[in-house]
């Protein structure tokens, strides 16, 4: 059922800077990969984050983040970050992430739940504040969801 949601895939290579002194990816770096996957997702669907959100005074603030680690990854490993938009409301978005190694084995998966906020950190209804952006988001949602 998870494949019924809008998604994008981003390829990446684990760097030494992503790793701890033992040469294993540092757990917190996964959340950077999630962010990169989310930015890639938005760009893939024609909604670049900086132009569409940041420069318009809209921030996506994380309310909840979670990750399950299935397998260690090391520098120079090639990964695919699959990002899916799994919830869309007028005040929030939820993204689900699945990271696969070169053998297509799931190595990490998680979610981030984000709220739209203004420059002062106050949450708002995106449909009321930016109807055109809401329409773009709902078009992606309607076009891709198949349940």
At 128-141, the pLDDT tens digits run 999 999 999 999 98
- CATH number of the domain bearing residue 127: 3.10.129.10
Chain-centroid distance, C-alpha 128: 24
pTM to 2 decimal places: 0.93
Cβ-based neighbour number of residue 116 at 10 Å = 24
- DSSP characters over 49-76: HHHHTGGGT-EEEEEEEEEEE-S---TT
Residue range of the domain that includes 139: 2-144
For residue 77, pLDDT beyond 80: yes
Overall domain count for the chain: 1
**pLDDT computed for residue 142 by the predictor:** 84
Q: Which residues contact 70 (CB under 8 A, 6 or more apart)?
A: 105, 106, 107, 108, 109
For the chain, give the mean pLDDT.
94
pLDDT digit string, tens, across residues 27-55: 999 999 999 999 999 999 999 999 999 99
């Amino acid at each position: 059922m998870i494949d019924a949601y809008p998604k994008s895939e981003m390829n990446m290579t684990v760097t030494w800077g992503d790793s701890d002194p033992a040469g294993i990816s540092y757990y917190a770096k996964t959340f950077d990969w999630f962010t990169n996957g989310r930015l890639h997702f938005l760009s893939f669907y024609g909604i670049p984050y900086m132009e569409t959100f940041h420069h318009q005074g809209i921030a996506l603030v994380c309310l909840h983040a979670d990750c399950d680690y299935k397998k260690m990854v090391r520098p120079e490993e090639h990964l695919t970050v699959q990002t899916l938009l799994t919830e869309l409301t007028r005040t929030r978005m939820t993204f689900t992430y699945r990271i696969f190694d070169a053998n297509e084995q799931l190595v990490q998966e998680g979610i981030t739940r984000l709220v739209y906020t203004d420059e002062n950190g106050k949450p708002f209804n995106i449909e009321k504040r930016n109807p055109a952006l809401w329409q773009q988001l709902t078009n992606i949602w309607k076009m891709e969801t198949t349940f």
